[in-house]
Amino acid sequence: MREKIPEHALILNHMFVDGNKRTAVEMIKSFMNKAEIPINKKDTDLMNIATQVAINQISDITIIANKIIE
């Protein structure tokens, strides 16, 4: 189930030495833009969500998605 949300995998699988969260945030923004889904969050808010995922404060895919689009 987690693989269905690539930003979750990107944040946790450490593809880079540094920058996983920033890369995930840019990917989220790109995906939402391409899907014509409005982004109502500031970059800092998206970074906070990415940080919560990275430190396992949130791991449920539905909760992550809802936090991004709310």
Q: What is the pLDDT of residues 15-59, one digit of tens each?
A: 555 667 888 888 889 988 998 989 899 999 999 998 888 888 988
Give residue 59's pLDDT.
85
Check: pTM over 0.75? Answer yes or no: no
**Residue 4 or 53, more confident:** 53
List of long-range contacts for 28-35, beta carbons under 8 Å, 24+ apart: 28/68, 31/7, 32/68
